[in-house]
Amino acid sequence: MMNLRGKINFAELTDTGRVREHNEDAIGTVADIGLMVLADGMGGYNAGEVASGIAVRIVTEQATEAAMREDRGDIDPHSGLMRQTIILRDAVYRANKVIFQTAQSQTHCEGMGTTIVACMFYDNRVSVAHVGDSRAYRLRGGAFEQVTMDHSLLQELVDRGFYSAEEAQRSTNRNYVTRALGVEPTVEVEVREYEVLPDDVYLLCSDGLPDMVEDEDIHLTISTFNASLDVVSQQLVDLANDHGGRDNVSVQLAQVLDTFAAKQSLFARIAGWFS
C-alpha cells in the first residue's frame, strides 16, 4: 500500500456552531492512504447524525480495505477513471445504500439523509467525489477556487442564468439540495480527478463555512496561517462562529509537501518497453 506520510499534512475540525444543539456533521481522515471524508447530515430526532456517521464510516472502511487489498493506479478502460476514483465512487454508492436501508427499517431514522464530499490522493493526483452542497476548494499559488459544484437548487438557477454567482453568494435560499445520500435507493455521485502539485492546499467543508464566510476570507485565512493547518482549521471555524455560527461547521485540510508518484508495477514497466 502506498503510504503518504511525510508527503501530505492533514488537519480537521468540527464544531456545533452557535445555534444548533447537536452536531450533525461527521468527518474522518486516513492519512496513510490520503483519504478525507466529510458528511453533513439532515433529518429529525438527530437522525442526521446517524446518516452522516454511517457515510463517513462506510466510505472510510471501504476505501481503506480496497487500498490495502491492491495498490494499483490503473486506468479503468471503460470509464477512463483512475482506480482510486472508482474506489471512492463505489464507497459512496455503498454508503447511500446502507443509509437508505437504515432509514427504511428504523422508524426514528425515517427521511434522514446526508451530503458528502470526499477526496483520495494517489500518484500525484487527487480523486474528489461529492453529493450535495458540501464543498472542496483548492489553493494553488495565489489562486483559490471551488473544485466541486453544489448539487443545489440555487446552483441550478445560477447555471440557467437566473442568478449571477455574486447574487447567489448573498441569497438566503442556499440550502435546498437537489441530491443527498440515503434519500433514494441509488444516487448519482459526481467524481473528478485533478493533478496535484507541491504546496497545493485542499479544503473540504460543510456548508456551515461558506454560508457564514466569504470565499475571499477563507482564502485569506489559509494564506495567512498555512504554516499550521491546525491553526487554519481553528481560525476558519472561529470565523464561521463569529459571523453567526447558524449551522454546524466542519473543515478538513490537506497540504501537499512533496510529490508522491506511485511505483510502477513490473507489468506496467514491461508493457512500456513495447509501446
Q: Which three cell numbers stand for residue 158?
A: 445560477
pLDDT at site 267? 44
CATH 3.40.50.2020 holds for 8-15+23-273: no
Q: Where are the domains of the chain?
A: 8-15+23-273
Where does residue 220 rank: exposed (0-12), middle (13-18), buried (19+ CB within 10 A)?
Answer: middle
109 burial type by CB count under 10 A (0-12 exposed, 13-18 middle, 19+ buried): buried
pLDDT of residue 58: 98
Q: Looking up cell 444548533, which residue turns up?
A: 20
User: Please, is 38 exposed, middle or buried when counting C-beta atoms within 10 Å of its C-beta (0-12, 13-18, 19+)?
Assistant: buried
**pLDDT one digit per residue (tens) for the chain, 275 residues:** 678 989 999 999 999 999 999 999 999 999 999 999 999 999 876 799 999 999 999 999 999 999 887 656 677 776 778 889 999 999 999 999 999 999 999 988 999 999 999 999 999 999 999 999 999 999 999 999 999 999 888 777 777 877 777 766 666 666 688 899 999 999 999 999 999 999 999 999 999 999 999 999 999 999 999 899 999 999 999 999 999 999 999 999 999 999 999 876 444 445 555 54
Provide the 3-class DSSP secondary structure of residue 103. helix
pLDDT given for residue 162 in this prediction: 73
pLDDT given at position 273: 54
| pLDDT tens column, 180-230 | 999 999 999 999 999 999 999 999 999 999 999 999 999 999 999 989 999
